[in-house]
Structure 1
């Protein structure tokens, strides 16, 4: 399903598809709390760049927390771990969130999870050996902008504005069309950035079942298209 916040601003003549900036996580045991600003995509790695493997026989807890009225989307990718290293995701209320198994000797990830409140915690319990283990975590927080579905018009200003799919950060609805027309004052250029995207991957049909498109100007020139079949 598509989870997609987009910010728009009428200032610079640029079009960007965002990539996450990756920061190092630290752990020598115990827990750490990390604040996540709304709609600000963040990426984290552990162990820190230049280090090799998880610390032995250690429990690390990282709690990602955002503003009270927002919720968090978290993805864990490129996991490399030993058989007895364990990774646990906990919701805001302490409930354990579902994860998939990661085979030893592979680089795999978990399905994206969404918090019910304004925080998610990830707990890493390591075994008594250290090899080449590592983990990457990607986080964004937000709430449904109320723009989709249907047709709407937005006037871009010098301040950024957010557009999300319906139900964000949960899955959008089926059989839904959302069209947003964005205009700006004369002599202004509209810039947009895709902060986060997750589109349903379906192989049921030969043609595109889920499509995201961006058109430029009165001539409706296609400048960005993402299609999954």
Structure 2
């Protein structure tokens, strides 16, 4: 079986969501396409050498099912297969794993793999609607709020609890989980960062994975942002 190797990595800067977000008027296509072009140019890889593009996203429904779109917008050959995948918070990592599997199995020689999340652009919330950013995670929340106050007759829908509220009631979103850990276990941000640095250093220090992602210029309305890696 062949060995799969990670050659290089790039990313855009991070930003907050909502009215004050630096990417609020930037589409996911405008975020991804410069990265695809840059990674090929930096490594002197011809577009015709790429076998497939794999993109992971938590918000894969609706707005972000666009891997094929990225190929077209980046001017890559139509022969490149493009796949969207979802594994919640591990979506981009799964995309990289799938790419490695394809190379190891001999199905592909060159794979572009990554992920995209843009909280301003996940339906049903628009960039100018900040009533409740947690709605971004669930169209169900929006649906409940849009129900009329006076429902005719006795047919007002009853909402079932989500699966984790029944089987795993302790599950919370990542922000609430972090706050609870800090409150109950006194796990400060500084201690957590020190732990992960110590955990990752031995395995990553001598490999390309241990290197910082390279900076890629990303245009935003009226500005040019640069990642600090």
TM-score (norm 2): 0.26
The higher relative CO (CA closer than 8 Å, separation ≥ 6) is in 1
Structure number with higher strand proportion: 1
Larger radius of gyration: 2
TM-score (norm 1): 0.26
Structure number with higher helix proportion: 2
